[in-house]
A and B are shown apart, each in its own frame.
Chain A
Amino acid sequence: MSEEPILSVRGLKVSFRTDQGMVHAVDDISFDLDAREILCIVGESGSGKTLTILTILGLISDPNAVIEGSVRFRGRELIGLPARQLRRVRGREIAMIFQDPMTALTPVFTIGWQIAEQVREHTTLSRRAARALAVELIEAVGIPNPKGVVDRYPHELSGGMRQRAVIAMALSCNPALLLADEPTTALDVTVQAQILDLIRKLRADFGSSVILITHNMGVVAEMADRVMVMYAGRIVERGQRDSVFARPWHPYTWGLLGSIPPLEGERPHRLISIPGLPPSLLHVPAGCAFAPRCRWSRAACAERPVLAGSGGHDSACVLDPTQRRAARAAALGVLPGVA
């Protein structure tokens, strides 16, 4: 932990000018990512998780977007970096895997061409060497018959194969940081298991750090070293995986955990659901954004809670430890692993 974090985000804000006023889609986010660490960002649609990593990559091109704060990658500031320099980082040092592999690949070129293009953009390899590397990468991500697949078009592959091809492309330059935005959401569970396995292997083989965005707490439990829960553009809880699952602090996290039907054990009569809907980003409450949906909201929630805690486990909630324990027991019953 004494090592310098590979990525350091401070006070990141992404806002959009709209007809109806400013929309704060990412609202003051700070976090660090260590080398070889897998950080999972969880949240529902509109929580700002995708926008956060798009900003890291400098992929927000909307002229109405206002980006504030700092993103330091290996000590270098990425916000405000000229496009030409950013292009050298993007793809080579930081790679991204998108949710929908069909839109991440161009339909008019073969898989091999697309991987080789990426390689040639960032290295001095010859066309032939780049193609040979493409075949190797396709094999490395577990696609059978790599020599045949290299000349196939994206539509000729299944969803799982396409996602592997996208991962092969992301790996082509041995990135130090891999950003994965819901990489398995569009895939079946058995294929999801294969892809998650591949991402874990990546970390083991190449030592890459990974930011994995998901809405699936099951995926978090299997993959994360650390977890960050986002709600309405803010971090509401973050900490080591085991700590967050064993002693979740924020009522929203309780809601997320409670709304998943269990696969084993007693079937609950009703699932714990969070009443209401996530707020429209135009009307995020001034205080705690979750207060209108929270059973335990109180007067103090009118003020925006600070993200604080101990032992690397923070949450943005005004409940004190005693109140929190009682509320959590009421919300979730006794959690496995809690004494």
Chain B
Amino acid sequence: MTGGLPLLEAIDLVKHYRVGNNLLRRLNKTVYAVDDVSFAVWPGETLGLVGESGCGKSTLGRCLVRLYPVTSGQIRFDGTDIATLRPAQLRPYRLRMQMVFQDPAASLNPRRRIGEILAEPLLVHKRCNRSEAAERVGELLHLVGLLPDSADRFPHEFSGGQRQRVGIARALALQPQLVVADEPVSALDVSVQAQIVNLFLELQERLGLTYVFIAHDLSVVRQVSTRTAVMYLGSVVEIGPTDAVLRRPAHPYTQALISAVPVPDPTRATQRARIILTGDVPSPIDPPPGCCFHPRCRYATDRCRSERPVLTPYGDGTQVACHHPLDG
């Protein structure tokens, strides 16, 4: 891959939840939300995380910035394993990684003015005093394309797209190196979605940010990501440079996912070979043995039903977890 050290590295990351409240703990079940995931993100790049609902992409995103405790594995940020740091030790790292959430209406406090929302991280981390904070808020608003008078207004006075701009401004307040964005455009109308996607690209160019961009929309991920990781049922099934992954998918799931995206071009739409997957994503409480995709896979063999494939290099800088990868 690219030279230099990765900014963020996940090594064998696992996140399990116990569900149920049976007193006999052994009767409670475990959700394998993130199951043994490893990848690296280099400075200045964007790693897109795609997958369908329930594949663990949001959980993974939140684990990366330690919003959720991890069950096991390492998260190396700039060389240090932050997965097990105590809150006080973690604080300096919190400054350097921030998160943008899907629903800006739910992630902004409705009782506080935009100015207060944006100043809070600065004051909490003692980056500046109140008067300096006001100035910085003005800069932030300008940065994300909002008017300076927005600082005195409340979240409900803004549209969805504008609120998402506030969410982005808040994430950038502390000048982080890494921004984890969890479905930041999926709640927005198409035309507004394009504005926010453009904003993400512009900010990255201007501030040299590194993104982990989580989305279910492959075309959005393609637009923003240098590399793309495809998740299915808690595992990364394919990862590599975005163009390679999307043009020549090696994993049958990636292939099906791409073919299921409706393209806004009638001629292409009728020519394209559609692979319609049968059935649903299995439950992460009781994942199938072997390759977790085998019950829906056209190419599944006996080996897939018993042996779990691991990510292995597969040309073009991609890695794929499949016993029978497709050749482009």
A residues near B (Cβ < 8 Å) are 44-45, 144, 158-161, 188-194, 196-197, 215-222, 241-242, 245, 255-264, 267-268, 270-275, 277-278, 336-337
Closest residue of chain A to B283 (Cβ to Cβ) is A158
Given A270-B198, A273-B191, do A222 and B269 touch, yes or no (CB 8 Å)?
A: yes
* Chain A residues with CB under 8 A of B53: 159, 188
Q: A277, B161: Cβ atoms under 8 Å?
A: yes
Cβ of B223 under 8 Å from chain A: yes
Given A160-B280, A267-B222, do A218 and B261 touch, yes or no (CB 8 Å)?
A: yes
Q: A272, B264: Cβ atoms under 8 Å?
A: no
A98 to chain B, nearest CB (A): 19
Q: A44, B263: Cβ atoms under 8 Å?
A: no
B206 to chain A, nearest CB (A): 13
Docked Cα-Cα span, A218 to B265, in Å, equals 7
Docked Cα-Cα span, A337 to B223, in Å, equals 23
Residues 244-265 of chain B: 1 if any A CB is under 8 Å from the residue's CB, otherwise 0?
0011000000001111111111
In the complex, how many residues of chain B place their beta carbon closer than 8 angstroms to a beta carbon of chain A? 45
B65-73, B172-180, B212-220 - the one binding chain A = B212-220
Docked Cα-Cα span, A268 to B269, in Å, equals 21
Q: A190, B191: Cβ atoms under 8 Å?
A: no
B residues near A (Cβ < 8 Å) are 52-53, 159, 161-162, 189-195, 197-198, 201-202, 216, 218-220, 222-223, 246-247, 256-269, 274, 276-281
Q: B264, A273: Cβ atoms under 8 Å?
A: no
Q: B191, A274: Cβ atoms under 8 Å?
A: yes
The secondary structure that dominates the B interface is: helix
Known: A190-B277, A264-B268, A273-B198. 7 other contacts (CB 8 A): A190-B257, A221-B262, A258-B194, A259-B194, A260-B264, A270-B201, A336-B265
Q: B246, A263: Cβ atoms under 8 Å?
A: yes
Partner of A261, one of B191, B195, B197, B247: B197
B49 to chain A, nearest CB (A): 15
* Chain B residues with CB under 8 A of A278: 189
A221 to chain B, nearest CB (A): 5
B47 to chain A, nearest CB (A): 16
* Chain A residues with CB under 8 A of B159: 277
